[in-house]
Each structure stands twice: as C-alpha cells, then as structure tokens.
Amino acid sequence: MKCLVTGAAGFIGSHLSEYLIKKACKVVGIDNFMDYYPRSIKEANIACLRKNLNFEFIEGSLLEVDLLRLLNGVDVIFHQSAQAGVRASWGQNFKIYSDNNILATQMLLEACKQSPVEKFVYASSSSVYGDTKDLPMNESSMPCPVSPYGVSKLAAENLCCLYYKNFGIPTVSLRYFTVYGARQRPDMAFHRFFRWALEDKPLKVYGDGEQSRDFTHVDDIVEANWLAFEKAMPGEVFNIGGGSRVTLNEVIELMKELLGRELKVHYQGTQKGDVRHTLANMTKAGEKVGYKPKVSIRDGLKTEYEWVKKLVSGRVVE
Amino acid sequence: MAISQELLDILACPKCKGDIYLNETKDGLICDRCKLLYEIKDDIPIMLIDEAKPIEK
C-alpha cells in the first residue's frame, strides 16, 4: 500500500511515517519546512526514515506541487501538514493559516476527484470546539473556535465533509487533543517546560496553571490514524484524546517527580485564543473504530523528557 | 544514493507543472520551459519555486 503523508517531517507526520513503514507501506512524504521552528529539528525527525528505501521524501508545498502526479499510485492520504500555533494565528499571519490549512486542503481534495484514494485521513484539532461549556466535548457539539487557527482547522474539516458528501472522497477527520511526546514542537508547553527545567530556568505558565487539557500521546494519535484508515466510515469526524484530563499544575508536579527535584514556576497573563479546558468524549472513536488510548500521562511525559534531554545535549538524531 | 525513478516520476515543475529531468551531475532537476533548476540536496528534491535557481542558456 502506498501512502502520502503531508507534513512528514513534522512532529506527528514523522511518527506516523515510521509507523506506516513498519506496517510494510510505501510512504511518500512531503513537507515544506516552514520556518515556524528550526529546520534542523525537522531534519532530525526524518533522519531514520530517510535510510529506508520505502520512504521517499519531497521538500515542497501542497500549494505548488503537481498534486495529480504526487497522487499517482497513492492509496491513502494522511493529511497532517498545517501551519501550527494558536497564538500566532492572529493579525497579518492569518494568510499563512488560510493558505496552508484551508486552501492546501481544498486543493488536495480537488486532486482526489481525479485521482481517487481509498481513504483521506485529515488531522483536525480540538481547537475547533473553542471554549465550550460542554465537557466532555462531543463530535456533535456546535464548534465555536476561539482562535483563527481553530477557524482554519474547522474550515478544512468542513471541506473534507463537503467533498465526501458531494464527490464521494472518503474523508475521515480526527480531532486531535493536545498532542505530546518525543519530537513535540519547541513552542509547545511540555517541550518548553522540560527545556527550561534542564536549563535550570523558571517554567513560564500562561494563566494560573489550572487550565486543563486532554493530553494525548503521539503513539495513540498514530494508532488512531491507522484505525481511521482501516475501520472508519467515510465522512465521519472523531475525537482522539488521551483519556484523562490533567491541569498544567498537575503536569508540573509529574515533571518534578520525573526530574527528582523542585521546579520554579512563574505564572503569567492568559493568552488570547487559549481555551480553559478540553476533554474528549471518545465513545464514538471507541465504538466505531476501536480506538482506546494506551499511553498514560506519566509514561508519556517520560518519553518526551528523554527526547528533550537528547535535544538539549545535541544528541537528537535517533 | 541518487533519488529513485519512482520519485522522479511523480515530480513536476511546481511553477508550470511541466516535465522536469535530472541534470547531468544528478544534483538538480531542470525545467526547460521555466529555465529553472530545482536543487537536490542530501537526496531531497527541493520543489519550491522560491528556492529554484534560474538557468542561463
């Protein structure tokens, strides 16, 4: 089976590509190495993959490449690429989000009309829900994003549903809830916390630390993508969470245990676009595709800590 | 290790979507129509219009 993984050099895309290679798939990866974080980190993400003959890689943009040629022989698309970052999505930056998150998805869906695929798995986000009072968040709840980033992810998700209903493109959207683990982006909270802790700097926390997230380990996200390909009915949307809701202060307590020492914490003002709590209702994902998260927050944090330690000491190429 | 034929087959010029071919030194892909060279660095074809180099002919 041949898979196209967009955003293949990124945090989730690189893990997913490795998983697909282990499943004996051929993978074509594409990534435009957007300068949101250092290129060297992304290059390290795919260093192992590139040694595998079943992995082909293109540095390119979905907005520019000939998508019909790219899809030649592709059975499944795992569309992971996006301009990330909730807080950076305001102002003039929004064009980057609309181009890379909405337009690129629409172009890929259009290409699928002429080059049919077995499944088109789209990486959506819990940010589509916004600051809902309904916890846990249900797929049937009214989405109400509170950041332009969330708006762009929701728009692309809606396009996926539309292209299924109107053209039969077999899309499945997975709403990821705060993903963490090795290779997490450097702007994300756990990565920053571990780095600061290792550098003996205080941890900067937005708000009072009592905001909570349904943190999801990247291994569970990868598994969910495979299940979505294998079992999901097209046109569906699924919440993919980690199975527990943890506050940032609780995470910091776990980090202290892991490091075996106290950590200094500086609390700062809240950020526009941040939601207060997230928690996924995963009944649908469990019943329809058999998704069940396996990695606990305690175990998952350890994997990320080990990786950040390597990164900080310059030994990141795995 | 050079890039595979399989990969070459799915690539086109990102600017005109026309055919491209490997140059003699096998470190770039040429689009005759746009007169652009797309470099191959560490076996990765860089298919970005902004990164392409103009070819003088």
The interface predicted TM-score of the complex, written ipTM, equals 0.95
CA contacts within 13 A on the Cβ side of A293: 25
Give the minimum alpha-carbon distance from B23 to chain A in angstroms, rounded to a whole number.
Answer: 17
Chain A contact probe: residue of B38, B40, B47, B50 with most A CBs at under 10 A = B47
Rounded CA-CA distance A167/A209 in Å is: 45
Contact list, B44 vs chain A (CB under 8 Å) = 50, 57-59
Give the minimum alpha-carbon distance from A66 to chain B in angstroms, rounded to a whole number.
Answer: 6
Beta-carbon contacts below 8 Å between A and B: 50
Contact yes or no for A66 and B11 at CB 8 A: yes
pLDDT tens-digit map of A204-259: 999 999 999 999 999 999 999 999 999 999 999 999 999 989 999 999 999 999 99
**Residues A116 and A163: beta-carbon distance below 8 Å:** no
Map out the domains of chain B as residue ranges. Answer: 5-54
pLDDT at residue A178 greater than cutoff 50: yes
Q: Choose among B10, B44, B47: nearest Cβ to A72.
A: B10
pLDDT at residue A47 greater than cutoff 70: yes
Closest C-alpha to A299, from A211, A225, A219: A219
Examine the residue annotation and report whether A149 is marked as an active-site residue of this protein: yes
Rounded CA-CA distance A302/A307 in Å is: 9
Rounded CA-CA distance A278/A241 in Å is: 9
Domain B5-54 has CATH 2.60.40.3080: no
Chain B contact probe: residue of A28, A35, A59 with most B CBs at under 10 A = A59
β-strand partners of A56: A28
Give the minimum alpha-carbon distance from A58 to chain B in angstroms, rounded to a whole number.
Answer: 6
B49 touches A at CB < 8 Å: yes
pLDDT at residue A317 greater than cutoff 60: no
- Minimal-distance CA residue of chain B relative to A64: B14
Contact yes or no for B46 and A64 at CB 8 A: no
Q: What is the mean pLDDT of residues A155-183?
A: 98
Strands (E), A17-168: 26-31, 55-60, 76-79, 119-125
Contact yes or no for A56 and B9 at CB 8 A: no
pLDDT tens-digit map of A181-201: 999 999 999 999 999 999 999
* Given the residues A37, A122, A149, A176, the one annotated as active site: A149
Contact yes or no for B10 and A69 at CB 8 A: yes
**Residues A85 and A149: beta-carbon distance below 8 Å:** yes
Q: What total number of domains does chain A contain?
A: 1
More confident call, A67 vs A84 = A67
Q: How confident is the model at residue B56 (pLDDT cuts 50, 70, 90)?
A: confident
Classified as helix, coil or strand, A56 is strand
Give the tokens for residue A159: 């396009």
Contact yes or no for A69 and B15 at CB 8 A: no
Rounded CA-CA distance A127/A143 in Å is: 9
Burial class (CB in 10 A: 0-12, 13-18, 19+), A199: exposed
pLDDT tens-digit map of A252-301: 999 999 999 999 999 998 777 678 899 999 999 999 999 999 999 999 99
Q: What pLDDT does residue A242 have?
A: 97
Q: Terminus-to-terminus CA distance in chain B, angstroms?
A: 29
Rounded CA-CA distance A117/A72 in Å is: 10
Check residue A12 and give left, alpha or beta (phi > 0: left; psi -120 to 50: alpha). alpha
| Buried/exposed A265-293: b ≥16 CB within 10 Å, e otherwise | beeeeeeebebebbbbbbebbeebbebeb
- Minimal-distance CA residue of chain B relative to A73: B10
Structural domain containing residue A137? 2-179+216-241+279-293
CATH number at residue A44: 3.40.50.720
Rounded CA-CA distance A160/A37 in Å is: 28
pLDDT at residue A155 greater than cutoff 50: yes
Q: How confident is the model at residue A318 (pLDDT cuts 50, 70, 90)?
A: very low
**What one-character-per-residue DSSP string does chain B give?**
-PPPHHHHHT---TTT----EE-TTSSEEEETTTTEEEEEETTEEEE-GGG-EE---
Give the tokens for residue A283: 């009944």
Classified as helix, coil or strand, A31 is strand
B2 touches A at CB < 8 Å: no
